[in-house]
Structure 1
Amino acid sequence: MENVVLIIHLILALALIAVVLLQRSEGGGLGIGGGGGGATSGRPPATPMSKVTWLLGIAFVITSITLTIVSARSSAGVSVIDRLTAAPPALNQQDDDAGSLPDADSLLPPAQGDNAPLVPTLD
């Protein structure tokens, strides 16, 4: 079901983009274009293209909410953080050395008292 809603959602997104790009510019956007009248003009009449835009927009929001609900139900209450803290699956190791993960302590920088190699300096 999630795939069907996702496909409908993508089709609605593309249709919404196409309908918005096909509409006539009313001007005033970004301060460019014609279309005088300013604040004295009333609300423009609803054209069929604006009605289609509203319908596609409402359908897009509905499919967005539906996808959110469906994905929340299928997540089974497992957080991404829970997945990160879980133990990693065992690797398919053919050699003992090849493919093994490094020890977590070896990834840390050396402590102050360790016999770590000196950092080069400019003389």
Structure 2
Amino acid sequence: MQTVLIVIHLMVVLALVGVVLLQRSEGGGLGIGGGSGFMTARGAANTLTRATAMLATAFFATSLALSLLARYGDQPTDIFDRMPTTQQGAPSGEGGVLDQLGGEDTPPAQAPEPAQPQVPSGQ
């Protein structure tokens, strides 16, 4: 289901990019050339505007569907479900999640005393 929705989403994205590029901009855009018929200035604007609106709606719908599938599809996992717990239901360890990560258990070293200036000996 998700793969089919991704393929549809990609096709909508490519079509949306194509339709936006075909629209006439202030400088003429890719709608180069004149003539009459199906793609006249007024008819093209109406057709391309409607196509852009429909493709944008389809884009938002497929994006929303993909995000809902990602959230509620299969089995949503929570990081706290994978943590080992004690009998009371609290995470094991005394200090919390950061203490379970490991590391050195040695106490912090004391700061060294500042060095004393040496007095030159008289000769």
Q: TM-score, normalised by structure 1?
A: 0.51
How far does residue 54 in structure 1 lie from its aligned partner after superposition? 0.5
Partner of 1:105: 103
* Percentage of matched positions with identical amino acids: 34
Q: TM-score, normalised by structure 2?
A: 0.51
5+ residue gaps, structure 2, are 28-41, 85-100, 112-123
Give the counterpart letter for 1:49 in structure 2.
L
Q: Which has the higher contact order (CA 8 A, sep 6+)?
A: 1
Give the counterpart letter for 2:76 in structure 1.
G
Distance 2:14 2:24 in 1: 18
Partner of 1:91: none
5+ residue gaps, structure 1, are 28-43, 88-102, 115-123
Distance 1:18 1:82 in 2: 45
Please identify the structure whose Cα radius of gyration is greater.
2
Question: Relative to structure 1, is the Cα distance of residues 8 and 54 closer, same or farther in structure 2, using a 3 angstrom cutoff?
Answer: same
Aligned-residue RMSD, C-alpha: 3.2
Q: How does 1:21-40 map to 2 (within 5 A)?
A: 21-26=21-26
Give the counterpart letter for 2:110 in structure 1.
G
Partner of 2:54: 55
Distance 1:111 1:57 in 2: 59
Partner of 1:76: 75
Give the counterpart letter for 2:25 in structure 1.
S
Q: Secondary structure at the match of 2:103?
A: helix
1:14 aligns with 2:14: yes
How far does residue 10 in structure 1 lie from its aligned partner after superposition? 1.0
Give the counterpart letter for 1:50 in structure 2.
T
How far does residue 112 in structure 1 lie from its aligned partner after superposition? 2.6
Distance 1:52 1:26 in 2: 19
Question: Relative to structure 1, is the Cα distance of residues 82 and 26 closer, same or farther in structure 2, using a 3 angstrom cutoff?
Answer: farther
